[in-house]
Structure 1
Amino acid sequence: MLKDTKYVILRSQEILVPTTDNLGVRRGANTFALDPEQMQIEATELSLSERNDLRRDPRTMAIAPAFPLKLIAPVESQDVATPAADSTWGIEAVGATSSPFDGSDITVAVLDTGIDPSHSAFAGVNLVQKNFTTESDNDLDGHGTHCAGTIFGKDVENTRIGVARNVRRALIGKVLGAGGNSSLTIAKAIQWAVNEGAHVISMSLGIDFPGYVRSLTDIQGLAIEPATSIALEGYRANINLFTELSRFVQAQGLFGQGTIIVAASGNESNRPSYEVSVAPPAAGTGVIAVGALQEGSSGFSVASFSNDQVNISAPGVNVISAKVGGGLRSLSGTSMATPHVAGVAALWGQRQLSTTGRVNHQVLMAQLIASGTLDPLAPGYEIDNVGTGMVQAP
């Protein structure tokens, strides 16, 4: 067994149900059945035989090594002294300025570096904060504040930065920071957000595959070849982990308010030299993977850094949003595209809630992905790079 390697275990809980005959008549004592809507998340060191035993247990949904997580860091940043327009270009591009919806009655969750709760962009919003790290509760990095501002921020310095600027309740899970960077952290944070009633979960983070390889070589003392092979096995297991987490979220939605998960595809590509596929957690089945677009003279084009095999795209270059301490800043990355999609998802969720009285996750996912349009894109795009195109508000 590798030294000090923790494994994340997802298990369905057992519940007691009455024993009945084939006519539905109750007979005798209660029996146990699996409840897919109730999931246990654990982390422990496991031997090979223990892992094999768990895999044979019907309650086990996934086992994966606790991979380190990393912020999908912006590729460029600059402060904004004087906004150039009444709305950011991203708000205009996704059609938020012409939508009759504003995110009312929708709860969004932002799993990131936290938030600056004193920023004017979040005035009047009930911020439910939970810290999964060992740092202080608020945002020390600025990434989470910027992402939250794009989703539901109020106007700042007479500039509209938020897609769904009438969201009144937001769940802020601080998952990136000292003591909180692992796939175990994000699994627990997703469970928390679902239990707290999130309709939309936004994540601009990814698995640190090179970091895990380094831990196997530097700490475990393995040569690069076996370390890479072991890391690839763990990478695959973590994709399955996030797929099963998504299924748990969907199962919850069958009996209550639905939740969808939106995640950044990653910034590892370097067009035209090479393209990298979407990374976990966005690579998990059931998670909406977001690519980044930029402005151009002939239409929107794929950002050079944006990973491919995405579901949908959004503005991700020179995105202006909230800055820790007040004011605005401009950042670029798929991290910036993701909150645009999360904000638009809140608008679609509000539309569905107003017409049906509840949010169905399957319908919301279908509406969101189908909203994408290829019309404003510059010639030469590939579907794998843009998905259904630029996300559009209802």
Structure 2
Amino acid sequence: MRKYLLAAAVMAGVPVAIVAQSAQLQPGEEPTKAVSVADTGGKKIPNTWICVLKPGAASGNPGAQAARSANVGGGRVTHVFEGAFEGFTLRIPDRAIAKVQANNPNISYCEQDQVMAIASEGKASIAAVSAQGDTLPWGVSRVGGGSGSNFRRAWVIDSGIASHPDLNIDTSRSRSFVSGLGYTDTNGHGTHVAGTIAARANGGGVVGVAPGAPVVSLRVFDGSGSGSNSAVLSAVNHVYNYGSAGDVVNMSLGGGISTTLDNAVLRASNRGIYFALAAGNESQNANNVSPGRVNGSYIWTVSAFDINDRFASFSNFANPPIDVSEPGVEIVSTYLNGSYATLSGTSMATPHLAGLILQRSVRNGGRVTGDRDNNPDIIGIR
């Protein structure tokens, strides 16, 4: 896909181009195991269906269409979507979905809900970071981040964001789309992602690529790092409704192919909102995962490399859809309880790119070695 130079004009929503050239864990507590897409992502959720309405069919009231369909099929409504698209999710016997569609001509199609999962590898390990003086993680240094101010907003669709001295959380815009849970992270993944994007230069701890940028917590995963496509769609709709041109959305997550999710991301990006998408960690073609396979002028899919610029062994590949590669192996960032942790994955690479977009500069910093598709990805730097 074609990108444009990201410069000061990003504030008006101009697309981007590459130019050539610890509070501690409790005693005995193990760091949360990351649930990877390979573990669970893409698995169908029984008796749960996402129905997309035809454009204009809901007349601004998709909830009424949802209730009508639930009554026909003997199910219940769990989500109502309004924004990038109109629709709803039903908990309904799988055998009844054909009846629902036949009895509501306003439905364009229905897609079975699926498990979505965070795109990191293995367990987090708690990292020792000095409280005296700022620490610049190797990835932030490699991409040229760690300075600047007056950044736009980063929306983090993830496991939530926990309170941390290094983070500037926009609590007024933060939301949870997981039933019964608030937007505060209990897994650690979303907090880690947020720190790589925007940890403050506050005289101690780590510094992010765009230090001090406001981060919005949009929680779609529970404490184990597992969630549903319906929750992710709700978060994308939230950004569509409340985001602004020049903001960036970080999606360090993935699942099986979802036409509904792909289209929602594309429509939100058409408002001038940037999306940084993880390529995934299955060592497979990134065209097989959503939303990482989506192409668009405001959409960037990110692979991972290590401290020696070697393509990460776990990273998905293929260009397109991959636009750029970023540091994703042994990345130190913010974590639960005011601590710091090391994690790896395209989840960790993607927020480096999100921070660069906030910096309004993504340049060609060379190419990775060892890319599996023999088309080495460009390294994005400031």
Query: Could you tell me the TM-score, scaled by structure 2's length?
Result: 0.69
Please point out which of 142, 154, 174 is paired with 1:108: 154
Please point out which of 301, 316, 329 is paired with 2:310: 301
Residue 176 (structure 1) aligns with? 221
Give the 3-state SS of the residue equivalent to 2:227 in structure 1: coil
Residue 259 (structure 1) aligns with? 273
1:204-353 superposed matches below 5 A: 204-207=252-255, 235-236=256-257, 238=258, 240-251=259-270, 253=271, 258-269=272-283, 275-278=284-287, 279-286=289-296, 287-296=299-308, 300-309=309-318, 310-348=322-360
Residue 5 (structure 1) aligns with? 48
Do residues 190 (structure 1) and 241 (structure 2) align?
Answer: no
User: Could you tell me how far apart the structure 2 residues matched to 1:290 and 1:318 are?
Assistant: 16
1:194: how far off? 2.4
Residue 77 (structure 1) aligns with? 124
**Equivalent residue letter for 1:284:** V
1:43: how far off? 1.3
Give the 3-state SS of the residue equivalent to 1:325 in structure 2: helix
Residue 122 (structure 1) aligns with? 167
Q: Runs of 5+ in structure 1 lacking a partner?
A: 17-35, 208-234, 270-274, 352-367
Give the 3-state SS of the residue equivalent to 1:302 in structure 2: coil
| CA distance 1:385–1:85, change in 2 (3 Å) | farther
**Equivalent residue letter for 1:288:** W
- Preserved CA contact (<8 Å) 2:324 2:379: yes
- Preserved CA contact (<8 Å) 1:132 1:185: yes
**Equivalent residue letter for 1:80:** A
**Equivalent residue letter for 2:249:** I
Give the 3-state SS of the residue equivalent to 2:326 in structure 1: strand
Which digits, 9 at most, give the CA deviation of each residue in 1:103-134, with x for residues without a partner?
x24111001111112x1011575563201112
Give the 3-state SS of the residue equivalent to 1:189 in structure 2: helix
Alpha carbon RMSD of aligned pairs, Å? 3.2
User: Could you tell me how far apart the structure 1 residues matched to 2:203 and 2:89 are?
Assistant: 46
Residue 210 (structure 1) aligns with? none
Give the 3-state SS of the residue equivalent to 1:263 in structure 2: strand
| CA distance 1:246–1:124, change in 2 (3 Å) | closer
| CA distance 1:136–1:107, change in 2 (3 Å) | closer
User: Could you tell me how far apart the structure 1 residues matched to 2:240 and 2:124 are?
Assistant: 32
1:377-392 superposed matches below 5 A: 377-378=368-369, 380-381=370-371, 386-387=376-377, 389-392=378-381
Please point out which of 365, 371, 374 is paired with 1:373: 365
- Preserved CA contact (<8 Å) 2:187 2:223: no
Identity of aligned residues (%): 24
Residue 218 (structure 1) aligns with? none
1:204: how far off? 1.1
Which digits, 9 at most, give the CA deviation of each residue in 1:312-346, with x for residues without a partner?
11000111110211132111111100111111111
- Preserved CA contact (<8 Å) 1:289 1:312: yes
User: Could you tell me how far apart the structure 2 residues matched to 1:124 and 1:149 are?
Assistant: 10
Query: Could you tell me the TM-score, scaled by structure 1's length?
Result: 0.67
Q: State the aligned residue count.
A: 300
User: Could you tell me how far apart the structure 2 residues matched to 1:128 and 1:37 are?
Assistant: 16
